[in-house]
Structures are given as structure tokens and as C-alpha cells.
Structure 1
Amino acid sequence: MKKIILILLFLQFISCSDGKNQELILDAQNQKINNYLSLAQKETISKEMRIRFGDLAYQAIKGQKNDSITRRNYFKVANRYFPLYELEKYKKVTNEVLALGRASKDSATVAKALYYLGDYFFENAKNDSAYWYYNNAEKIYNKIDDKENLANTILHKAYVLLYEKDFLGSETATIKALDISLNISDKLLVYQCYGNLGSALSGLGNYEKALYYHEKALSQIEKLKDNYLYEDFKAQTFHNIGLVYQNNNQYKKALENFSEGLKIENLLKKQPVLYSALLDNYAYCKFKLNNDEGYDELNRALFLRDSINNIAGIIKSKIHLTEYYLSKANKTKALQLNNEAYTLADKSNYNKEILKTLDLYTKIDPSNGLKYAQKYIKLSDSLNDLERATRNKLARIEYETDEIIHENLEISSEKKTILTVSILVAFIGALLFVILFQRAKQKELLFTQEQQKANEEIYQLMLDQQTKIDEVKNIEKNRIARELHDGIMNKLASTRLNLFVLTKRNDEETIKKCIGHINEIQNIEKEVRVIAHELSNDTFSEKGNFKTILTELLTEQNELYPANCIYEIDKDIVWENIDIEIKMNLYRILQEALNNCNKYANAENIYINIDKQEKIVTLQIIDDGEGFNTNKAKKGIGMKNMFQRTESVKGDFDITSEIGKGTKIIIKLPIN
């Protein structure tokens, strides 16, 4: 008997020792995993080493049994991969923990894994897949009554809808998430909901309400002072408020908010993407308020974005710099930057930025404006169709039959009879059949209505596109007609009149005078070639000094025509700072007026005065010729062209004339 007792005691001792050894081994293994996870999160070591430690943690976890600690560790590994942008590893780990959650019938794990997969697809811009996973995660969180995660998941659905420009749908989902967040007093979620509501309302064009919610978000931040991202939240919210003002063209207020965001300490080090965005928008607002400012900050923002390979930011910076150089009439530099922005946006599928570059091309290279306008319209229509199709797909996901999730159901008793189970299954099956039949009918009706509405919108877009193309064609026809009449026809008429004398006299002196007029035909030929290539603007920029161009025209007037032309040009006018379009139209108006004097007025004297006062250039043309009835003359193409050219640069045109008392034309052109 004593021997048996001793044997039992010995066996118990061995058993306890083995148990303790197992616990020690398990503790050591868990400690090793925790060390790997801690190192993978450490920002002071290189990205490559952090990824390596994440891999080691993953390998150590794989061999462990499927319990709550293991599943929690899988999520920790996924959280290490995501900020390092190791998205494929993130997806692989998440799918594995999803399988473990289903195997263990752990609804919370399944819902969390589905939510993580939603983040993966959202980060990869596969928004329909992201929405599907968020939607399924929402169903489970709602079922297990996890309010915090439910609100967060609904908010992420709202982010997807915002990205797809379904601003009304995003607003509705965010309000739903906000109600839950307020009920559970989750300060961070409340702040995030306010921010997204502001963005959604800004997208709808309701800037006043958007600012209201962004200001509420700013107030909510003060309740998050214990959060380590407190300063980052402030910077982001100032940026959001600045964007609303910027979108509403209130650049001064936008500048103030971007400036507040830039004052946040250590923002460049902690959030370089946000800092460079604030700096770029700050500089852009400075430029919009005064086109002589903002250049240095725009370049610095581009440098920062390039150093962190922020592709979207690089494109936006180059677009803003394109606008800057365009305002300085430096079309060579503007074209270079716009080409770079277009190429990068096209390669990265940033369609909104592609549209912006196409719009800028029409201003940089107006000679090819129609080609770029057509390309813009085609891409815009394509994007509208794609966005509409995606929004329809997201709507269908909402109405699809809910996937029956059995993993969270636990059988309370193994003694349930087969008959009871069969009855319940039959009842549920019949109920589901009725529900599915009704929902299918409802979905079919909704889809038909959406399709009809989409077809109507597409037809209207086609009509709008054709109208725009016709409008561009008419503008171009009128421009070419004016160029031919004001330039070529006038010069040909003048040359013809001066050479007409050869039909009456052909002595040596007459021939010698006419040689100059024959040479003028070569100049006319050159101008025809210039107009044919639609480079009329460059004609002025090639000559450089616009005052020289005007002087040449007026000197030629005195040399070739009998009227005595007296002219004065204000010496204080800096022609290089005046827009080429204004200079071109001023030249053509003066040219047309002189031609009218030579052909019809029979004037002895012509007085020309070009003067500048503040931001107005005034052109006066006075002759002592025969005069005319201005009401009849306004119907002629020459007078119409002078009026249209003045109107095209937002100037004022005034003409007074009486028969026998000469003519006086006063034209006032605004300049920057």
C-alpha cells in the first residue's frame, strides 16, 4: 500500500513538473513574440528591419494553437505591416486570422478581419470590394452589439462613398455613425465624424454647413489632449477648413487656416505628407491673392513631396507651379511643368489631376485648345460614367441578401431533437424564401429606375458636349475672320491703292516709290503664314519691345500716306508686364482705325495718344477728316471688330463723329 502511494506521489510530481515546464516554454515563446512586435513598431530603426521583425513575429505565431491570444497576435502583426505599406503581407495575415475566427466561431474576430480586409481594398482604391467587406463587418458588429466598432465601420463606409463622390450617401452614413458615437461618448469617433461631415457637405457645395462641422471638429479636438495624435488632428482640421475656403475662392481666410496648421510643432517630422500639403496650399493662396508671391513656398513644397515620393502631392505642386508661370507669361516653363504633371498623373491614374492639366493646356497652348478641350470632355464623360457605375454597384451591395453567419452561434445543448431542428430549418427556409423573393423584386425595380436615370443623364451629357464643341468652333471662326480682316485685308488694300499709280505713271521716280510697297507684300505673306499656324500671340513676343512695334506702325503711316500722323506714347508704360492678349488687340484696333482714316476720312492730320493711368491704358485716335454717321458705320465689319476686340479684354469703346467734323475714338483697356 505504501509503495502504491509513493508511486502515485512520484507520478503527480512528474506531472506538475511537466506542466510548469510547458508554461515556462509558452511564456518564453510569448515573450519572444512580444519583443518582435515591439521592435517592428519602433520608428527609430529602418523600414527593412521593422519588416523583418514583423516576419519573425508572424513565423513564431504560426505554430501556436488557435486561441484568443494567437488571434490577437495575428492582428498585431497585421497592424505592423499596414503602416509600412506591406499590404500584401497585411492581406495574407488577415485572411489567416479570418479562417481561424471562423473555425473557432469567434464572431468578433471574423468581424475585425472583414474590417481589416476592407482597409486593404480601400488603400488599393478597389472601393467596391472595400465596401463589401465593411458592409459584412457592420452586420456582425450590429449583431454582437459592439457599438464602438460598429460606428467605426459605418464611418469607413462613409469614407468610401465620399471617395466615390456620393456625397449625400456619405453624409447619411456619417450621421448614423455620429449618433452611435455620441451615445457611447467616444470622443475620437465624434471628432472623425464631424470631419467627414464637413468634407461631404463641401462636396455638395454647402460650404457654410461644411465650415460649421469642421469648426465643431476643431472644438472636439480639445477633448482629445491626452491622445498622442492631438497636434496632428489640429493640423488636419485647419487644413480641412482651409480647403473649404479655398474651394469657395475665399483665399484670405484659407491662407489664415493653412498658416495655423503650419504652426503645429514638429509636424514636418511627424506628418511630412500633411505638412507639405499645408505648405503647398498656403503658397497657392498667397499666389492667388498676389501673383508675385508664393513662388518660394511652392518650390519648397514640391521638394518635400519629391523627397518622400508623395506622387499625388508632386502632381498638385507641379500644377500650382504651372499656374504661377502661366501668370508670368512664361509659357515655356509652364508647359514643361504641365507636361510633367500630366505624365505622372496619367501613369498613376489620378484622373482629377489629368483633367486639371488638360484645362491648363488650353491656356498654355491656345492654338491647340480645341484638341485639348475635346480630350477633356471625353475623359470627363468617361469618369462620370465610371463613378455612376461604381455608386450603383455600392447601392446594390446594400440591397444584396445578407450572408448568413453561423460562426458566432453556439449550440446550447446537444440533446436537441432532430425534429425540432428540422421544424426550425423549414420555418427559416420558408421565411427566407419570402424575404428573398420580395427583395429580388425590389432590387429589380430599383435597378431599372437607376438605369433609366443613368441613360437620361448620358444623353444630356452628349448634348452638352456637342454644344461645347460647336461653341469652340464658332469662337475660332470669328477669331480667324477678325485676323484676316484687320491684318491681311487692310494691308492688301493699302498696297493695292499705292501701286495703282503705276497704271497712270511709270517714270523712274514713281517706280522707286512703289518698290517699298512691293516689299510690303513679303510682310503680308509672312503674316498669312503666322495666322495659318495660329501663332498670332507669338508675333508680338518675338519682337520683344511692344513700343517698337507701335512706333514702326506709326512711322510707316507717315511714310506711306499723305495724312500727317502725330503720336505720343506714355514712357512710363512697362509693356512687358501687360498681357499679350491686351497688346495684340490694342495693336489691331489701332491698325484698323488708321486704315479707316486712309481709306475713307481724307484727313490732313491724325493725332494718336497712348496713355496709362493707374490700371487703365487709354488709346485716343483723332482725325480732322470728313466724318461719318456712327449709327450706320457700327454695322460694318471693321467697326464690329474694333468693338469685339475691346469687349474681349473687358475694355470700354467710345466713338464720336459728325459729317465734316472729323472722328474721335477713345478706347480704355484694363490691365493688372
Structure 2
Amino acid sequence: MKYFTLLILFIVFISCSESKREEQEMTVQSQKIDNYLSLAQKETISKEMRIRFGDLAYETIRKNKNDSITRRNYFKVANRYFPLYELEKYKKVTNEVLELGKKSKDSATIGKALYYLGDYFFENAKNDSAYWYYNNAEKIYNKIDDKENLANTILHKAYVLLYEKDFLGSETATIKALDISLNISDKLLVYQCYGNLGSALSGLGNYEKALYYHEKALLQIEKLKDNYLYEDFKAQTFNNIGLVYQNNNQYEKALANFSQGLKINNLLRTQPVLYSALLDNYAYSKFKLDNNDGFEELNRALFLRDSINNIAGIIKSKIHLTEYYLSKSNSFKALQLNNEAYYLAKESNYNNEILKTLDLYTKIDPSKGLSYAKQYITLSDSLYDLERATRNKLARIEYETDEIIHENQEISSQKKTILTVSILVAFIGGLLFIILFQRAKQKELMFTQEQQKANEEIYQLMLDQQTKIDEVKNIEKNRIARELHDGIMNKLASTRLNLFVLTKRNDEETIKKCIGHINEIQNIEKEVRVIAHELSNDTFSEKGNFKTILTELLTEQRELYNPECVYEIDKDIVWENIDIEIKMHLYRILQEALNNCNKYANAENIYVNIDKQEKIVTLQITDDGDGFNTNKAKKGIGMKNMLQRTEAVKGDFKITSEIGKGTTIFIKLPIN
């Protein structure tokens, strides 16, 4: 018995010693990891050594068990790799911690890892992948109610949309992030949201509202004085405000803001990329105010950007210097710099900068203007297609993620319902079987019959509801088809006709004039986006004077097309009292009729009359063109649209035409 007791005591002693030894080893390892992580972050040692210390921390962490401390340390290692631009190591570590999070069912770790992977792909300009990871991280943060990370993730989705020029989408996402940031009083996130809202609105051309949000960002910075990036935030915001003024051709105000940014202490040392951008923008604004000024600053900005290998900045500086030399009629130097900017932009896939250099080529070497113009048009079209495809892909990612979550929720709900009902039915069935078997059978049969009847009723209701949905879809499809045909197609046709002259004439004046029409393609893109995000009525409700809108359309007809256009608009018509829908349909009918005259009529004269007779507005469009047989001619989509628009507001539509004697369209639209 004595020996047995001694044996037990010995085993207990050994166990305690082993436990204490393991605890000491864990403490030593923890200290070692902290030391490696600290050294990997130290800016006074070389980049290579910092990477090496990051690697040592990573190898040490991998030996530890999968617990919350280990997962947190993985993220710390990733944060050491990212600023050193060791992106592949950053991705590898993040993928490993993602798997650890899944094994431990740690939603916070999974969400953070997905967000980190979004940063990886965004940094590599793979925006569709970045958006996918941000979107999935958002769903997890929303589920676990992590407001701070949720707002930050939504804001990064907005950054992706801004980069892809989906300015409306970026604005919407940023407002969502801003609401959350204000609710949780996160001062830094509020500042970042204000800044991105300003950039998105500037992209939409709403410079007044863009300045409003950039000014709010500037005020918000004063609440961040304890942040070590306080001065950098101020410089960035001054640069943003200056760019809005610069884009709006208000160069004196732009100059004042760029100057404020350059006054920030130690900016050249801490943020050389931002400092050189401010200096270049400052110099460019000086040049725009006086083409004899800004040359020294432009050259210094180029020197700084070249010294830090800031490729995007180098291209922009050389483009600005090209403009300077062009203003001095120094074509040789302008051509040299523009060539350097063009090939560097092409090598680095900076497509917008390539477009700017092609535009400058037409001014530097007008003899080859047609060739450069064709390259400009081809690249611009391909960029438009690429941007549209990317935005569609991002929209599909958002939609498909929501669909999967919705389906999973439905399946989970169905399983719970089935389980609950099954247990209840089994319990009741067993109890009733003991009491009275026959009665249980009878009740079960009645229940089945009632359930079948209820299912039939539900099925019929679903059929009725689907029929209503299909009707609404068809109505909406027809409306969108009319909007696209009457608005977008007409403008595309107009742009094509204006650019067609390049096939016949290639003098400098024609080329310059035609390049201006390329911007109309961007306006058409904006109109497509407006159709997708707003009600068609809003286009007309935003403009105060409808008569001005009509006059602009008729003036454009007179200036851009061969037929002589004469028009009369009744001065006594009070357009503000007429329903927006009637005005919209009147405008689109007139637009379609003029387009048909330009394309098919071969007319020399067009007469348009808009008159008011009591409670009716009449529209008459007459041309002296080829005419056609109204009984034999097929009604195209344009004619159908005019007829449908007239019928939509309970009006009368009449068309008379005779071969060789022109065509007259007469429409009556009732008004209240």
C-alpha cells in the first residue's frame, strides 16, 4: 500500500512538471512571436530584414494549435506583409487563417479573412474578385452584427465601384456605409465616407455636391487630431477639393487648395506620392491660368515622381508638360514627351491616359490626325464595353450572393418547420393510437384532405400572382424599349452621322470637330445609367422650362441636319401646368418623328407646329420628302412607339403621306 501511494504521488508530480514545462514553452513562443512581429514593423531596418522577421513569425505561429490567439497572430503577420507589398505571402497567410476560421466555425475570423482577400485582389486590380470577397465579408459582418467592420467593408465595395466608374453605385454604397459609421460614431470611417462621396459625385459631374462632401471631410478631419495620419488626411482632402475645382475649370480656387495641401509639414518625407501629385496639380492650374507660368513646378513634380518610380504620376506629369510645350508651339518637345507618356501608359495598361495622349497627338501632328482619331475611337469604344461588362459582373455577384443566402434561409426554415411538424404529428398520432386507433385514422384522413385542398388554393394563388407579375414585366419591358429607342438610339444615330464625315474629309478642322462628338458617347452612357436607376419622368421634372427643352431639340435639328427646320411653339401654353407624363411623351414623339425624317424622308424642309386648343395640345410635323404609301408600308418600331405613346395618354394619332409629296403627322394630346 505504501509503494502504491508513492507511485501515485510520483505520477502527479510528473504531470504537474510536464504541464508547467508546456506553459513555459508557450510563454517563450509567445514572446518570440511578439518580438518577430515588432521587428517586422520597424521602419528603421531594411525591407529585406523586415520580410525575414515576418517569415520567422509566420513559421513559429504555424506550429501552434488553432485557437483565437493563433488566428489573431496570423492576421498580424498578414498586416506586416501588405505594406511591404509582399502580396503573394499576404494572400497565402490569409487563405490559411480562413481555413482555420472555417474549421473552428469562427465567423469573425472568416469575415476578416474574406475582407483581407478582397484587399489583395483590389490591390492587384482584379476588381471583380475583390468585389466578390468584400460582398461575402459584408454578409458575415451583417450576420454577426459587427457594425465597424460592416461599414468598412461596404465602403471598400464603394471604392471598387468608383474605380469601375459606376459612380451611382459607389454613391449608394457609400451612403449606406456612412449611415452605419454615424450611428457608431466612428470618426475615421465618417471622414473616409465623406471623401468617397465627393469623388463619386465629381465623377457624375455634380461638382457643387462633390465640394459639399469634401468640405465636410475637411471639417471631420479636425476630430482626428489624435490620429498619426492627421496631416496626411488634410493634404489628401485639399488635393481632392482642388481637383473638383480643376475639373470645373475654376483654376484660381483649385490653385488655392493645392497650395494649402503643399503647406502641410513633412509631407514630402512621409507621403512623397501625395506631395508630388499636389505639386503637379498646383503647377498645372498655374499653367491654365497663364501659359507662361508653372513650368518649373511641372518639371520638379516629374523629377520627384521619377525618383520614387510613381508610374501613374510620371505619365500625368509628362502629359501636362506636353500641353505646356504645345502652348509654346514647341512641337518637337511636345511630341517627345507625349511619345514617352503614350508608351509608358500602354506598357502599364493606363487606358485613360492613352486616350489623353491620342487626343494630344491630333493637336501636335494634325497631318496624322485621322489616324489618331480612329485609334481614339476604337480604344474609347473598347473601354466602354469593358467597363459595362465589369459593372454587369459586379451586379451579378451582388445578386447571386443574395439569392444563395435567401435560398439557404428558406431551406433552413423548411427543415425546422418539417422537423417541428413531424415531432408534433408523431406525438399526436402515438397518443391518439393508444386512446382510439380508428378515430385517429379518421382524423388523419380528414387532415390530409384539408391539407390537399389548402395546397390547391395556395397553388392557384401562386398562379394568379405570377400572371400579375408577368403583366407588370411586359409593361416595364415595353417602356424601357421605348426609352432606349426614342432616346439612346436617336443620339447614337446622331453621333454616328456626325462622325461619318471622317470618311470623306480629314482636314484638321473636321477632325477637331468630330473628336468633340466622342464625348457625346459618354453622355449616352450616363443616360443609359439614368434610365436604369431613375424613373423616366425624373428627366423632365428636373428641368424647369419644358419649352427650352423643345427649343434645344429643334435647334439641334436645324444645326446638325440638312433639312431646313422651321418651328412654331404656342407662347400661351403654360407648360408647368401640364402633366409630366404628357410632356415626356410629346418630347419623345417629336424626337422620333425628326429622326425618321433625317433617316428616311430625304426632305429639304421640315415644319413643326405645337399649338393649344382649349384642353388639347396639338403637334404637327410636316416634311416635303419622298413620302410613302401608308396602306402598304409596314409599321416599324419608331411608328409603333409614337402610336403607343399617344395612346398611353389617351390622345389621337394621325399620319398622312403620299409618294413624292411628303408626310404629315398630326397628334392631339388631351390636358387637364
| Same-fold call, TM cutoff 0.5 | yes
Matched residue, 1:468: 499
Give the Å deviation of 1:90. Answer: 1.0
Q: Distance in 1 between matches of 2:51 and 2:203?
A: 38
Matched residue, 2:119: 119
Gaps of 5+ in 2: 425-454, 456-461, 512-672
Give the Å deviation of 1:389. Answer: 1.1
- Is structure 2 residue 291 aligned with structure 1 residue 260? no
Give the Å deviation of 1:7. Answer: 3.1
Matched residue, 1:165: 165
Q: Is the 8 A contact 1:115 1:133 kept in 2?
A: yes
Q: Is the 8 A contact 1:207 1:248 kept in 2?
A: yes
Q: Distance in 1 between matches of 2:67 and 2:498?
A: 66
Give a deviation string over 1:190-224, Cα, whole Å, max 9, x none. Answer: 00000000001111111111111001000000101
Matched residue, 1:390: 390
Alignment of 1:203-352 (within 5 A): 203-352=203-352
Please tell me the residue identity of whatever aligns with 2:215: E
Judging changes above 3 Å, is the alpha-carbon distance between structure 1 residues 360 and 24 closer, same or farther for their aligned structure 2 residues?
same
Matched residue, 2:104: 104
Q: Is the 8 A contact 2:366 2:508 kept in 1?
A: no
Give the Å deviation of 1:473. Answer: 4.6
* 3-state DSSP of counterpart to 1:43: coil
Alignment of 1:180-191 (within 5 A): 180-191=180-191
Q: Distance in 1 between matches of 2:354 and 2:480?
A: 28
Q: Is the 8 A contact 2:502 2:510 kept in 1?
A: no
Matched residue, 2:611: none
Judging changes above 3 Å, is the alpha-carbon distance between structure 1 residues 479 and 225 closer, same or farther for their aligned structure 2 residues?
closer
Judging changes above 3 Å, is the alpha-carbon distance between structure 1 residues 305 and 458 closer, same or farther for their aligned structure 2 residues?
farther
Give a deviation string over 1:71-105, Cα, whole Å, max 9, x none. Answer: 11111111111111111111111111111100110
Give the Å deviation of 1:374. Answer: 1.3
Pair member with larger Rg: 1
Judging changes above 3 Å, is the alpha-carbon distance between structure 1 residues 255 and 473 closer, same or farther for their aligned structure 2 residues?
farther
Give the Å deviation of 1:11. Answer: 2.2
Judging changes above 3 Å, is the alpha-carbon distance between structure 1 residues 19 and 211 closer, same or farther for their aligned structure 2 residues?
same
Judging changes above 3 Å, is the alpha-carbon distance between structure 1 residues 219 and 361 closer, same or farther for their aligned structure 2 residues?
same
Q: Distance in 2 between matches of 1:318 and 1:57?
A: 43
* 3-state DSSP of counterpart to 1:193: helix
Greater shift in the superposed pair: 51-60 or 277-286: 51-60
Give a deviation string over 1:384-439, Cα, whole Å, max 9, x none. Answer: 111111111111112114445999xxx9xxxx999569889xxxxx9xxx9xx99x
Q: Distance in 2 between matches of 1:84 and 1:331?
A: 42
TM-score by length of 1: 0.64
Greater shift in the superposed pair: 237-246 or 61-70: 61-70
Q: Is the 8 A contact 2:369 2:508 kept in 1?
A: no
Gaps of 5+ in 1: 425-429, 481-672
Q: Distance in 1 between matches of 2:421 and 2:76?
A: 40
Q: Distance in 2 between matches of 1:7 and 1:462?
A: 98
Alignment of 1:7-156 (within 5 A): 7-156=7-156
Give the Å deviation of 1:468. Answer: 2.3
Please tell me the residue identity of whatever aligns with 2:239: H
Please tell me the residue identity of whatever aligns with 1:127: N
Q: Is the 8 A contact 1:355 1:379 kept in 2?
A: yes
Matched residue, 1:175: 175
Alignment of 1:368-379 (within 5 A): 368-379=368-379
RMSD (CA atoms): 3.3
Judging changes above 3 Å, is the alpha-carbon distance between structure 1 residues 230 and 374 closer, same or farther for their aligned structure 2 residues?
same
Q: Distance in 1 between matches of 2:313 and 2:16?
A: 63
Give the Å deviation of 1:278. Answer: 0.6
Q: Is the 8 A contact 2:370 2:502 kept in 1?
A: no
Judging changes above 3 Å, is the alpha-carbon distance between structure 1 residues 35 and 142 closer, same or farther for their aligned structure 2 residues?
same
Matched residue, 1:635: none
Give a deviation string over 1:221-244, Cα, whole Å, max 9, x none. Answer: 010111111111011100100110
Q: Distance in 2 between matches of 1:174 and 1:423?
A: 47
Matched residue, 2:443: none
Q: Distance in 1 between matches of 2:267 and 2:202?
A: 25
Q: Distance in 2 between matches of 1:99 and 1:293?
A: 58
Q: Distance in 2 between matches of 1:68 and 1:449?
A: 56
Alignment of 1:238-637 (within 5 A): 238-402=238-402, 403=404, 461=492, 464-470=495-501, 473-474=504-505, 476=507
Give the Å deviation of 1:472. Answer: 8.1
Give a deviation string over 1:275-296, Cα, whole Å, max 9, x none. Answer: 1111110111111111111111
Judging changes above 3 Å, is the alpha-carbon distance between structure 1 residues 479 and 309 closer, same or farther for their aligned structure 2 residues?
closer
Give the Å deviation of 1:2. Answer: 4.5
Give the Å deviation of 1:479. Answer: 8.9
Please tell me the residue identity of whatever aligns with 2:263: K
Q: Distance in 2 between matches of 1:462 and 1:60?
A: 66
Q: Is the 8 A contact 2:315 2:344 kept in 1?
A: yes
Q: Distance in 1 between matches of 2:104 and 2:489?
A: 50
Give the Å deviation of 1:38. Answer: 1.0
Q: Is the 8 A contact 2:325 2:334 kept in 1?
A: yes
Q: Distance in 1 between matches of 2:323 and 2:508?
A: 28
Q: Distance in 2 between matches of 1:381 and 1:327?
A: 29
Q: Is the 8 A contact 1:177 1:193 kept in 2?
A: yes
Please tell me the residue identity of whatever aligns with 1:295: F
Give the Å deviation of 1:366. Answer: 0.7
* % identity of equivalent residues: 79
* 3-state DSSP of counterpart to 1:226: coil
* 3-state DSSP of counterpart to 2:507: helix
Give the Å deviation of 1:12. Answer: 2.0
Give the Å deviation of 1:16. Answer: 1.6
Judging changes above 3 Å, is the alpha-carbon distance between structure 1 residues 128 and 400 closer, same or farther for their aligned structure 2 residues?
same
Give the Å deviation of 1:8. Answer: 2.7
Please tell me the residue identity of whatever aligns with 2:113: A
Q: Distance in 2 between matches of 1:306 and 1:262?
A: 19
Judging changes above 3 Å, is the alpha-carbon distance between structure 1 residues 478 and 340 closer, same or farther for their aligned structure 2 residues?
closer
Judging changes above 3 Å, is the alpha-carbon distance between structure 1 residues 298 and 69 closer, same or farther for their aligned structure 2 residues?
same
Q: Distance in 1 between matches of 2:204 and 2:309?
A: 31
Q: Distance in 1 between matches of 2:239 and 2:256?
A: 10
Give the Å deviation of 1:4. Answer: 3.7
* 3-state DSSP of counterpart to 2:100: helix
Q: Distance in 2 between matches of 1:454 and 1:95?
A: 45
Give the Å deviation of 1:5. Answer: 3.6
Q: Distance in 1 between matches of 2:82 and 2:504?
A: 52
Give a deviation string over 1:177-198, Cα, whole Å, max 9, x none. Answer: 0000000000000000000000
Q: Distance in 1 between matches of 2:372 and 2:345?
A: 16
Aligned length: 462
Q: Distance in 2 between matches of 1:390 and 1:465?
A: 25
Judging changes above 3 Å, is the alpha-carbon distance between structure 1 residues 417 and 140 closer, same or farther for their aligned structure 2 residues?
closer
* 3-state DSSP of counterpart to 1:400: helix
Q: Distance in 2 between matches of 1:417 and 1:467?
A: 65
Q: Distance in 2 between matches of 1:208 and 1:423?
A: 64
* 3-state DSSP of counterpart to 2:96: helix
Q: Distance in 2 between matches of 1:28 and 1:20?
A: 12
